[in-house]
Homo-oligomer: A and B are copies of this chain.
Amino acid sequence: MSEVTIKSIAKALQLSPATISRALNDSHEIKQSTKDRVLAYAKAHNYQPNTFAKNLKTGKTNLIGVVIPFLSSPFFLEFIEELYKAVLPLHYTLLPFQTQNQEKLEEEALHFLLSQNVAGIISSPAHENSNITLLKRIHEFHCPIILFDRIQHSLDTHKIGIHNSLETYNATEELIKKGRTKIAFLCGKDIGNTKDRIRGYKNALLNHAIPFVEDYVIYADYQNPNEAIDSEIRQVLCDLQQRDLLPDAIVGGTDTLSIKILGVLADLHLAVPEDVAVIGFTNTNLADYLNPALSTIRQPTQKMAQLAVELLLELIEKKRHNTEIAYKSYLLPSHTVHRKSSAI
């Protein structure tokens, strides 16, 4: 790394390393003239403090670990981008990791973050209670953790998300009000918020006296490769069609699925929204340009990210002072944009 160290500066300026260290840290016990000399020299010789030594000594970092399922999902991507914006002025650095929804990879990511001695972690867990023991241990003994999006996880901490059942209820109801009755719900297998979203979907049907059809809840397994998911969904729809049970509307329960379904329906030569109306959870900026333009339930990624950082820094501060903490769940309002795919 760098050759210029506190020691070398000390030698050059005929001062002790301690003085240099204090001067660089702007300690009040160093007189201004000395500080000036040291700072000038440090700047001139491009002194870079050794992070590792500093960390070894202090046990603190300005790193924030981020653990998400997929970077390629528009929602998570947007969230991460907002996180970057939020931490930039605060001089914290993000260490982002993907779990691919796999508990094992999540565990590895968490271990790595521990080894980097991150100041805190922001995560959307792989599964409902994935790595709960590890997360609890980290949260209690190492650094605070904040959960977002998949907030059904039982870790006791601040959680940031949306009102999943309500949003799904509203989306489903909208389709009902437009006269659709054979409404399917497309959702991810083993994903934390799926349950809540299904609940909203079911409640909407119930309140409008539409019988719930088990087969209309379609699960996609994210462990499978992309093409497999596509053909799986297509197969399910074909089966339903043959049994004369083709849905006349679909609520997309995740980012990825909401987009995919457009392709599948096109493949099956079904017209959207005429044959099948679609509305889905997704944060893609391309919703307007999709074919047809996709009605979306958009999560407030910017607010979520800002709140996540704010709460995390607060926790980091409080942990230092051992303050008592009451954890809260923050359910932020989503924003539904109605486009052609549900314009019946």
Q: Are B1 and A52 in contact (CB under 8 A)?
A: no
Q: Which residues of A contact B (CB under 8 A)?
A: 1-2, 48-53, 55-56, 59, 71-72, 77-78, 80-81, 84, 93, 95-96, 98, 111-112, 114-117, 142, 259, 262-263, 266, 284, 286, 288-293
- Please determine whether A80 and B84 come into contact, CB atoms closer than 8 angstroms: no
Contacts of A71 in B (CB 8 A): 71, 77, 80-81, 84
Given contacts A259-B289, A289-B291, 12 further A-B contacts (CB under 8 A): A1-B117, A52-B56, A53-B56, A71-B77, A71-B80, A72-B77, A72-B78, A81-B98, A93-B112, A95-B95, A291-B291, A291-B292
- Shortest C-beta distance, A278 to chain B (Å), equals 12
Q: With A48-B115, A81-B72 known to touch, is A96 a contact of B96 (CB < 8 Å)? A: yes
In angstroms, Cα B46 to Cα A142, docked, is 15
The smallest C-beta distance from A64 to any residue of chain B, in angstroms, reads 13
CB–CB B112/A48 < 8 A:
no
A115 to B117, CA, bound (A): 15
Among B50, B114, B291, the residue within 8 A (CB) of A290 is B291
Contacts of A290 in B (CB 8 A): 286, 289-291
Q: Shortest CB–CB separation between residue A169 and chain B, in angstroms?
A: 27
Other-chain residue from B55, B80, B263 in contact with A289 (beta carbon distance below 8 A): B263
Q: Residues of B contacting A95 with CB < 8 Å?
A: 95
**Least CB distance, A170 to chain B, in whole angstroms:** 25
Question: A5 CB to closest chain B CB, in angstroms?
Answer: 12
- Which residues of B are found within 8 Å of A49, using beta-carbon distances? 115
Least Cβ distance of A92 to chain B in Å?
11
Chain B residues near A259 (CB-CB < 8 A): 286, 289
**A51 cross-chain contacts in B, Cβ below 8 A:** 52, 115-117
Specify which of B53, B59, B78 is in contact with A1 (CB 8 Å cutoff): B59
A336 to B289, CA, bound (A): 21
Question: What residue in chain B is nearest A70 (Cβ atoms)?
Answer: B81
